[in-house]
Amino acid sequence: MHKEIQSRDVFYVSDGTAITCETLGHVVLGQFAFEANEKTFPFVETEDKVCELLKRIQHSYERDGVKPLVFFSMVIPEIRERLMEAPAFFYDVLESMVQRVAEDTQLEPKPKLQRSRSVGKDSDTYFDRISAIEYTLAHDDGVSLRDLEHADIILLGVSRSGKTPTSLYMAMQFGLRVVNYPFIAEDMKMLRLLPEFEFHRHKLFGLTIDAARLTQIRENRLSGSEYASTEQCEQEVNTIESLFRREAISYINTTALSVEEITTRVLEKTGLKRRLF
Amino acid sequence: MHKEIQSRDVFYVSDGTAITCETLGHVVLGQFAFEANEKTFPFVETEDKVCELLKRIQHSYERDGVKPLVFFSMVIPEIRERLMEAPAFFYDVLESMVQRVAEDTQLEPKPKLQRSRSVGKDSDTYFDRISAIEYTLAHDDGVSLRDLEHADIILLGVSRSGKTPTSLYMAMQFGLRVVNYPFIAEDMKMLRLLPEFEFHRHKLFGLTIDAARLTQIRENRLSGSEYASTEQCEQEVNTIESLFRREAISYINTTALSVEEITTRVLEKTGLKRRLF
């Protein structure tokens, strides 16, 4: 070895988007202490592209004196074969699992390009997804309360409790139509639910957050404001949690959660299913 | 076997969100012809939850007479051991790859809960992501052209060429700050670039689309309108492609692409890197 290795070159390679390789490779590498220099090579479908990539891998190997890691998925057999010529450690993110499923189920796999959510193949999915995003954008932050009968879920919470990112994630990744509504001072004072929501009670779901974290998030946005003050945040959080309890609205605390975790917990609690993968 | 199997029960199980299991399992199963009845069990962290799950798997096995498929990732050893008691085919979505990386690199893995983008662990990432989403929302569809110096990229295109979903995907999944601007009739007539964009030319990127597909998408939205007519769509597409060429703005045709594919191709063409995983 030419030097002490504390970092490694990592290549994500696919004849598709390589997003699955990135996602999985990144999680796998998260279990190791070395620093990963990650580079992504999507749509490696031609001899030219694979040649260029082979040069890059060769260069990395010569420079570091150790083989870089290559997480890949590759359907085109000739390109796959060429890729294997590179001086690298290879991890096929799908192959071994596909083979084991084939053995276990005694069914033949039919390899195809990993074209997740491609338009050509499944135009309905395309429109479902786009219309979920549009619906959710149109119903973000209380902008519109029309057409609630088409909502899959209605998220309630104080400003900065995570409603907008969660709503957009649910729409984009899961195909759900999401309304979100921020509780503003007036509603708070009256401790009331808007009459528009009465008919859709079963769709209501609350997000809350620790007052200290809310202060931190609001400070990040409007430093020194009344809006970001500890008193204001505590009072809003207490009020909305009282409202959720009084109205028997399920809710979760988002303080330590990512949007993925919030989404997953909301689906778990409501029994709502994702509409697309 | 009790019956001819054309469908299989599939369980996605994790002590985290199970999103990685779902994503990967879904792609693997896409290579097989059987219908998958997919059920997700996230946050299986307790004896109670794993017991409930074991019952569900047992019930599936007794009903179908064949073992269901379980795609899982599980860090808690006791829960993992209990899960293995179920009558199922098991696919650990990370384990074999982590072990192979450990062997290849001669480094010890340190298993940890798969808490993708968790807030506790990495608060900066949380704020980066939220602010990318906010920036992108504030700059959607030409709403604002202020603060362009903080944009990572500026997407241009006619209405319904895929700008908004792509922008939100880039922000949500890759942490990029995206401006998108629809070309409206007036700009088109003058075949001009807004003066606001001059200083940020290097950030401009065009999306175009086949006129026939554009007609279909617009019909889906406003059936029978002038806006959706073949003539209007053809004229807009021709005009904007001329503009892109004249102004030497890189562009891609989004006709047969998903938002993931558009995003990946844009990054590939611009050299822009994702800011988060």
pLDDT per residue as tens digits for the range B195-218: 899 999 999 999 999 999 999 999
Tokens found for residue B243: 């503009």
Q: Which string of DSSP letters, residue by residue, matches A45-71?
A: -SHHHHHHHHHHHHHHHHHHSSPPEEE
CATH topology of domain A7-105: Rossmann fold (3.40.50)
Is the Cβ pair A107, B22 closer than 8 Å?
A: no
**pLDDT at res. B5:** 56
A2 pLDDT more than 50: no
Mean pLDDT throughout B117-130?
Answer: 70
Pick the more confident residue, B3 or B255: B255
Q: Are A31 and A22 within 8 A, CB to CB?
A: no
C-alpha distances (whole Å) from A58 to each of A55, A79, B100, B273 are 5, 17, 21, 22
The model's confidence at residue B147, banded by pLDDT at 50, 70 and 90, is: very high
Min Cα–Cα distance to chain B from A188, Å: 25
Q: Which of B261, B266, B268 to mutate against chain A (most A CBs within 10 Å)?
A: B261
Is the Cβ pair B112, A31 closer than 8 Å?
A: yes
pLDDT per residue as tens digits for the range A48-106: 999 999 999 999 999 999 999 999 999 899 999 999 999 999 999 998 899 999 999 99
A112 pLDDT more than 70: no
Q: What is the ipTM of this complex?
A: 0.89
Domain A7-105 and domain A123-270, same fold? Reply is yes
For A184, which DSSP code? P
Mean pLDDT throughout B60-70?
Answer: 96
**pLDDT at res. A49:** 96
For B68, which DSSP code? P
Contacts of A164 in chain B (CB under 8 A): 133-134, 137
Mean pLDDT throughout B136-157?
Answer: 95
**pLDDT at res. B119:** 53
pLDDT per residue as tens digits for the range A116-129: 555 544 567 888 99
Using CB atoms, which residue from A19, A91, A140 is nearest to B100?
A91
Q: Is B170 exposed, middle or buried (0-12, 13-18, 19+ CB in 10 A)?
A: buried
Using CB atoms, which residue from B28, B109, B172 is nearest to A172?
B172
> Domains of chain B: which residue ranges?
7-105, 123-270
Is the Cβ pair B101, A140 closer than 8 Å?
A: no
Rounded Cα–Cα distance for residues B150 and B132 (Å): 10
Is the Cβ pair A164, B96 closer than 8 Å?
A: no
pLDDT per residue as tens digits for the range A29-55: 988 988 999 999 999 999 999 999 999
Using CB atoms, which residue from A27, A114, A264 is nearest to B94?
A27
Considering only the top CATH level, what class is B123-270?
alpha beta
In the annotated binding site of A, the residues are 157-164
